[in-house]
Amino acid sequence: MLDVLLELLLLENTEQMERSLDHLNKELRAIRAGRATPAMLQNVRVEFYGSVSPLNQLSTISAPQPDLLVVTPWDKSSIDAIEKAVQSANLGLNPSNDGTLIRIPVPPLTEERRIALCKRVRQIGEQAKVSIRNIRRSTKEELKSTQETENLSEDMRYFAEEKLQKETDRFVTAIDNLLREKEKDIMEV
């Protein structure tokens, strides 16, 4: 039976690792995998009325077809600013504005671009794994200091570290699975 303090440390560790995994998921959704998705535009910032806002706070983004995104601004006067922001976002997209909405055709990915995207996915995945390992290291240090300050047995600390390692392995496996799925999705023609 683990001490309550150790259980709390491990619970906090799991929450931090889950946040790291959520962040990875968000990053991967923004990477294009052949089909048009509104998440492709999640990092687009629009300068409008002197302030910079995320595109999804100024408009509705939809994907009516696998190769088309449609941006419908809530304020029609923002349409030019939105078009300019999409063009300058370095996404390789060319929006066309018809006065009420913006159509963004999404060209098919070239083999070269697919390979580059897979490489980027692996980099993002490695960053997530490093984050998970850093969380593990910091929790391990907390376990050691808790053992010293609370006079816990070494067996209890080792048991907690064993649980910590199992949790770390579980998250690293989850990251590997996400990366494998995303790479498969990108390479699918």
Report in angstroms the alpha-carbon separations of 51 from 82, 89, 108, 146, 154: 13, 17, 33, 47, 56
pLDDT digits (tens, 9 = 90+) for 125-180: 999 999 999 999 999 999 899 888 888 888 888 999 999 999 999 999 999 999 99
Amino acid at 36: A
Element housing 146 (H / E)? helix 111-150
CA angle 141, 142, 143 (to 5 degrees): 90
Domain parsing of the chain, residue ranges? 4-30+110-187, 38-105
The pTM score is 0.73
Structure tokens at 20: 């790291």
Nearest to 167, CA basis, from 21, 5, 4, 1 = 21
* Sign of the alpha-carbon torsion through 164, 168, 171, 173: negative
| Same CATH fold assignment for domains 4-30+110-187 and 38-105 | no
Q: Say what the pLDDT of residue 1 is.
A: 47
CA angle 21, 23, 160 (to 5 degrees): 35
Q: Say what the pLDDT of residue 189 is.
A: 63
Q: Say what the pLDDT of residue 2 is.
A: 60
What is the chain's alpha carbon radius of gyration, rounded to the nearest angstrom? Answer: 22
Q: For residues 114 and 120, what is the distance between their CA atoms, to the nearest angstrom?
A: 10
The CATH superfamily assigned to 4-30+110-187 is Ribosome-recycling factor (1.10.132.20)
CA angle 70, 64, 42 (to 5 degrees): 50
Query: Which portions of the chain are predicted below pLDDT 50?
Result: 1
* Top-tier CATH class for 38-105: alpha beta
